[in-house]
Every structure is written in structure tokens, then in C-alpha cells.
Amino acid sequence: MTDAILALGQAKAPLQQRLAEIAGALGRWRLYRWTLAEMSALSDRALADLGLHRSTLKRVAWIAAHET
């Protein structure tokens, strides 16, 4: 009986790992969307002051979300 309980506990581990991966991906997606929205709200002048161009915003937001 205890072996069956242990096996059930071990079967949950991959599920918990997968849920953690999904939560991490969701967090990165939310950070990407927030970063992109914040930078998109800046004027072209403010972006230029930061050394950015509007065409690079998606890439910069992706880097911010995935390399932190």
C-alpha cells in the first residue's frame, strides 16, 4: 500500500514541474507585454534619448523578458 502512495507522489512530480514551467512562461509573456506597452507609450524623442528606435521595441521587450 505504501508503495502505491509513493508511486502516486512520484507521478505528481512531473505534473508539478510542468505547471512550474507554464507559470514561468506566463510570467515571461506578461513581462514582455508590459515592457512593450510601456516602451510603446514613449515618444520617438524619448526612445531616441534611450538609443532605441520604434522598430526595435519588440526585440528589446523580448530580451527583457527572457534574459532576466
Q: How far apart are CA 60 and CA 53, in angstroms?
A: 10
- What is the DSSP secondary structure assignment for residue 53, as one 8-state letter? -
Q: Does residue 15 sit within a domain?
A: no
Q: How far is CA 18 from the centre of its chain?
A: 15
Q: What are phi and psi of 51, to 5 degrees?
A: 80, 25
pLDDT averaged per 10 residues in sequence order, the chain, 68 residues? 59 84 96 97 97 97 92
pLDDT in the model for residue 7: 61
C-alpha cell at 12: 505528481
Q: How many domains does the chain have?
A: 1
Which residue type is seen at 50? L
pTM of the model: 0.76
Residue 36 lies in a domain: yes
In a domain, 38, yes or no: yes
Which pLDDT does position 28 carry in this prediction? Answer: 97
- Judge whether 46 lies within some domain: yes
Domain with 67, as residue range(s), is 24-68
Q: Is the dihedral of CA 38, 39, 45, 49 positive or negative?
A: positive
